[in-house]
């Protein structure tokens, strides 16, 4: 029995040989169910490059939520660039304003944006300004307001395509980022779903425990990767912090 698993077909073959099943469609269904339970995972392979991933504001000072976004990590602005003056890769115009946007709720972002024009605009202040952003319908709204054509750097987790789904060219997807970087999770999770389907709870619980242990290790590594390179104050990036440089009251 080969233990090399390079793609989804190899995974199906492995699980069939491991369990004695002769039903490949059943194994594919188990993978499908497992991947939906995996949607909340955060892996480095899902992160965008924020220096080459941009959002462009429309006339309502909003940026459409990217179709491939799973969860925002951080949005920021490195200077006054717009679509008429596009930013180069890794740009920084050294003139500002430099803004880090903290996430707030839709109620607050709508209320604060109504009053935003009554306050001093943070332009060319030699500091990193803490702005705000929130979801309104299918868009992100920002404070300080962004004008039409302005560019914001977008750093977020991308949703991953499910195995055996079709790509934009109609080809079957046989691998994805999580499959390549968390292969043990796919093995344990598929076996868990297989034994649940076969109504074998003890075997399902065994493989679920192995999956949870592997998942915890990945999550711990992800957390250390976020924080070990800088300060260790583990507050959430989604919790707005009070800014001394800029704050709408």
Instruction: Decide if pLDDT at 163 tops 80.
Output: yes
Q: Maximum distance among all alpha carbons in the chain? A: 71
The DSSP result for 9-72, as a single string, is: HHHHHHHHHHHT---HHHHHHHHHHHHHHTTT---GGGB--TTT-EEE--TTSEEEPPTTEEEE
Give the tens place of pLDDT for each residue, 197-206.
Answer: 999 999 999 9
pLDDT of the residue at 102 = 82
In which band, very low, low, confident or very high, does the pLDDT at 16 lie, cut at 50, 70 and 90? Answer: very high
Which of 169, 214, 167, 164 lies closest to 187 in space, CA to CA? 214
pTM of the model: 0.73
Of 67-76, 102-111, 164-173, 235-244, the one with minimum mean pLDDT is: 235-244
Give the tens place of pLDDT for each residue, 227-241.
Answer: 554 444 444 444 444
Residues 240-248 have a mean pLDDT of 44
């Amino acid at each position: 029995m080969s233990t090399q698993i390079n793609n989804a077909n190899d995974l199906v073959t492995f699980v069939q040989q491991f369990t004695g099943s002769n039903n490949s469609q059943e194994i594919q269904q188990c993978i499908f169910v497992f991947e939906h339970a995996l949607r909340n995972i955060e892996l480095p392979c899902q992160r965008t490059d924020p220096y080459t991933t941009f959002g462009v504001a429309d006339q309502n000072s909003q940026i459409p939520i990217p179709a491939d976004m799973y969860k925002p990590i951080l949005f920021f602005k490195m200077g006054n660039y717009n679509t008429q003056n596009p930013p180069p890769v890794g740009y920084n115009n050294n003139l500002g304003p430099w803004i880090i946007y903290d996430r707030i709720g839709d109620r607050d972002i709508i209320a604060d944006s109504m009053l935003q024009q009554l306050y001093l605009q943070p332009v060319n202040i030699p500091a990193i300004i803490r702005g705000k952003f929130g979801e309104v319908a299918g868009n992100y709204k920002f404070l300080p307001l962004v004008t039409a054509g302005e560019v914001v750097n977008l750093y977020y987790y991308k949703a991953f395509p499910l195995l055996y789904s079709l790509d934009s060219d109609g080809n079957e997807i046989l691998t994805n980022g999580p499959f390549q970087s968390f292969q043990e999770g796919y093995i344990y999770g598929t076996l868990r779903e297989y034994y649940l389907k076969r109504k074998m709870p003890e075997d399902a619980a065994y493989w679920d425990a192995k999956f949870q242990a592997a998942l915890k290790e990945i999550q711990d590594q992800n957390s250390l990767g976020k924080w070990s390179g800088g300060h260790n104050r583990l507050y959430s990036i989604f919790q707005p912090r009070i800014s001394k440089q800029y704050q709408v009251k």
